[in-house]
Structure 1
Amino acid sequence: MCSDGASVMIGQHNSFASRLIGDIPNAIVVKCICHSAAIIASKACLALPRGPEDLLRQIGSYVSGSSKRCAQLEALQEMLNEKKKKILRTCTTRWLSHHKCVESVLENWDVLLAFFNQAVTQDKLKSTEAILLELNNQCNKIYLFFLKYVLNYFNTLNALFQSKAPLIQVLQRESIKIFLSLGQNFIKKSELNITCAVRSPHISLPLEEVFLGFECNELLKTVPKTAANKIRTDCLQFYITALEEIQRRLPLKTELFKEIEFLNPEVAMAVKGNKNDLTFENICKIVCVDANSLLQEWRTMQGERYLDDCVVSCIKQPTSLIV
């Protein structure tokens, strides 16, 4: 059963899931993978300073909230020979949209500096002065480059499972993939596995070796060492929180999803010998299915494939067919 994380759906007491499990003890409840990815990213971002996120929100509200200001920004982009790109607003209910907002601000960084320098003298508002001050803070730009790098992992996972095709057979593989992909940025290769204690200092790389993305790492060289170490420490906490949340929310070790990979046609048709028999036995232990019917369907599919191969072979050799 897949649903969002609302308590009425999957709560421990008197929810749809608890009643379902009462009737079907073998039922396995899975939260929406896309919703879980957004929650993981939002909780991990709490480890970072609020400044960069506030800057995104303030820029979006100031520019996108006025058609006149949008036109002024577009004219400035044209004058500076930059691509015309809109500044997007952040959305708290669609948290993974932050990645596109980060990209739009970074791509227009120099244009925004010129725009708010002009706005400060024309509008004479405290809000524009505050935005310009934060734009001139190099640390904010470094944090945004880190978010551009790391949020792409979650957006890729989200985009995959937005597909209309059934992808339950790759759910565990993709969950493990994002865990290991994020983990390799700060955990020693010899210690990296889905059960590792991510907060243990013994498994972490030295702080200066933590990878934050190419653009972020390059920009870190332009700030004082104290500020760079502060940024690295904050980003390390992001990684640690993200991996802890992945261990808690994604099906990394659920046995069913490990066995159910045979539902992928490419995997199923590649199985040879008695290997598939072991898979059927494991499936039947985990899920209440009619093993005889399942095995008969599997063997029928194999027989149809063999028949198709014979037909193709005969078409390629018409003389043997005539004989």
Structure 2
Amino acid sequence: MKGRHNSVLSRIKNVQPEVLDIGCICHLANLCCVYAVKQLPMPVEELLIDVYFHFNHSAKRKEQYHEFLEFCDVAPLKILKHASTRWLSLEKCINRFLQQWPALLSYFESHEDRERPGRVKRCADYLASVEMKAYFRFLSFILEPLNAFNTIFQTDATQIAILMPEMNRLLRLFMAKFVLMRAIKSATDLTKVSFADRSVQLDDDILAVGMAMRTMLADSEDDLTDGTRTHISKSVRLFYVAIVEKMVKIFPFHNTVLKDLAVVNPDPKLCNTWSPTMVRNLATRFSIVADDEVEHLVEEFQDYQLSPDDDLPAVTSDSRVDTFWAEMGRKKTFVGAVRFPLLTRVMTTLSVIAHSNADSERVFSMVGKIDTDSRSQLGNDSLRALLSCKINTDDPCYAFVPDKDLCNAAKVATWNYVREH
């Protein structure tokens, strides 16, 4: 898709060299997570997958496991399937796994194949390992902020204006888990912090691992040697270095267009900090206004910055960027002329820039649920019509009441189809 020489992106750039490529931030965040988890010395993801497929196609094993759930007084919730391509999968699977850990440990320790080489022995050994459980508790703690970031950019609302500040905030948050505060605060560019240098990292006893993991390690003091504790701390440190290193490498921190796109954010606390040059750069970069209109655009932007809050649409935490600029486009002067014609044209155009491809992924998922094996003969027109109904209908399907004309049209279409086929 994004190869340098013969890819979709390279071919698009042959036609339009100025195309903006920032990647899908949700996908990039997931790649960072996958890369960091693989740095842990124990196969967390393999254990999740092994346990899931042990029960997946066996009703007998599920029934036997239900007895262990009752014995251990654990809620009989379904074991979730982990898929690395699902962006929010890992945290949910780990939390469910931790909730059922006592029952799973009891089940695999009591299994008749416990001593035979294979999946059961492998699962039993890992479940009995305090180190493995420590990594599970650590991941339950550290994946929450990463998934919260991912969730923000899976919405269909315009979020391109907050992409750069949120990326920087996420990087600061992860650095603060293992890097000295003075090293972070003194840096003018976060990507230049020497986070891999042990001299600027926190000591093992104050490394951020989460209260659940810290409590478990304290309770397991007799079961863990000093060498094992040191090994766990080293592994956590490697995880942090790996995820920050991956973020610095693949996140678009130095994309000047993304930095300028912050002006789309209507937050009144930030509005006066933006430079008119940012608007000028964006309007020129995307050819939204003519060259002789740029100075008028800058004047409108300055008028917008100097306007009192009461003279602008109200902005709350639930306000949408596109709604705000649509209301700005309806602002009139005392003589009835549109007050911000160029500015609103630029801002509404910039608002359509996608911050991720989550919306497209949802459409692909909808198509997969419509074009099933039992409906494989659907034509493209029918598929598009069904997809359009699904996307553009906010009410649940059972609440839809077709009118008489629609029912008659459907009957006529059915009779015509039967007659022709």
TM-score w.r.t. length of structure 2:
0.63
Q: Is the 8 A contact 2:27 2:87 kept in 1?
A: no
Query: Structure 2: which 5+ residue stretches go unaligned?
Result: 185-189, 305-326, 335-421
Find the aligned partners of 1:50 and 1:122 in 2 and give their Cα distance. Answer: 20
Q: Is the 8 A contact 1:60 1:87 kept in 2?
A: yes
1:205-284, aligned counterparts within 5 Å? Answer: 205-221=202-218, 222=220, 223-267=224-268, 271=271, 277-284=276-283
Q: Of 140, 150, 153, which aligns to 2:142?
A: 150
Q: Of 153, 164, 169, which aligns to 1:177?
A: 169
**How far 1:188 moved relative to its partner?**
0.7
**How far 1:17 moved relative to its partner?**
2.3
What is the aligned residue count? 298
Find the aligned partners of 1:121 and 1:163 in 2 and give their Cα distance. Answer: 46
Q: Render the CA deviation track for 1:6-43: whole Å, top value 9, x for unaligned.
A: xxx22111333234334444332111111111111111
Q: Render the CA deviation track for 1:134-170: whole Å, top value 9, x for unaligned.
A: 2111111001111111222322222221111121111
Q: Is the 8 A contact 1:64 1:89 kept in 2?
A: no
Which residue of structure 1 aligns with residue 200 of structure 2?
Answer: 203
Which residue of structure 1 aligns with residue 386 of structure 2?
Answer: none
**How far 1:232 moved relative to its partner?**
0.9
Find the aligned partners of 1:42 and 1:156 in 2 and give their Cα distance. Answer: 16
* Residue identity in the other structure for 2:280: E
Query: CA 1:77 to 1:303, structure 2 compared with 1: closer, same or farther past 3 Å?
Result: closer
Matched, 1:120 2:120: no
Matched, 1:88 2:80: yes
Q: Of 89, 98, 119, which aligns to 2:90?
A: 98
Q: Of 57, 62, 65, which aligns to 1:65?
A: 57
Which residue of structure 1 aligns with residue 362 of structure 2?
Answer: none
Find the aligned partners of 2:328 and 2:157 in 1 and give their Cα distance. Answer: 23
Query: CA 1:144 to 1:20, structure 2 compared with 1: closer, same or farther past 3 Å?
Result: same
**How far 1:287 moved relative to its partner?**
4.3
Q: Render the CA deviation track for 1:252-272: whole Å, top value 9, x for unaligned.
A: 2222222212223345x9735
TM-score w.r.t. length of structure 1:
0.80
**How far 1:79 moved relative to its partner?**
4.2
* Residue identity in the other structure for 1:78: E
Q: Render the CA deviation track for 1:161-180: whole Å, top value 9, x for unaligned.
A: 11111211111122112111
Which residue of structure 2 aligns with residue 129 of structure 1?
Answer: 121
* Residue identity in the other structure for 1:211: A
Q: Equivalent pairs: percent with the same residue?
A: 23
**How far 1:121 moved relative to its partner?**
7.2
Q: Is the 8 A contact 2:164 2:258 kept in 1?
A: yes
Find the aligned partners of 1:42 and 1:110 in 2 and give their Cα distance. Answer: 26
* Residue identity in the other structure for 2:164: Q
Q: Which moved more, 1:239-248 or 1:203-212?
A: 203-212
* Residue identity in the other structure for 2:112: V
Query: CA 1:125 to 1:280, structure 2 compared with 1: closer, same or farther past 3 Å?
Result: closer
Which residue of structure 2 aligns with residue 16 of structure 1?
Answer: 8
Q: Is the 8 A contact 2:74 2:99 kept in 1?
A: no
Root-mean-square deviation (Å)? 3.1
* Residue identity in the other structure for 1:204: Q
**How far 1:241 moved relative to its partner?**
1.0
* Residue identity in the other structure for 1:217: R
Query: CA 1:207 to 1:17, structure 2 compared with 1: closer, same or farther past 3 Å?
Result: same
Which residue of structure 2 aligns with residue 109 of structure 1?
Answer: 101
**How far 1:187 moved relative to its partner?**
0.4
* Residue identity in the other structure for 1:290: V
Query: CA 1:71 to 1:307, structure 2 compared with 1: closer, same or farther past 3 Å?
Result: farther
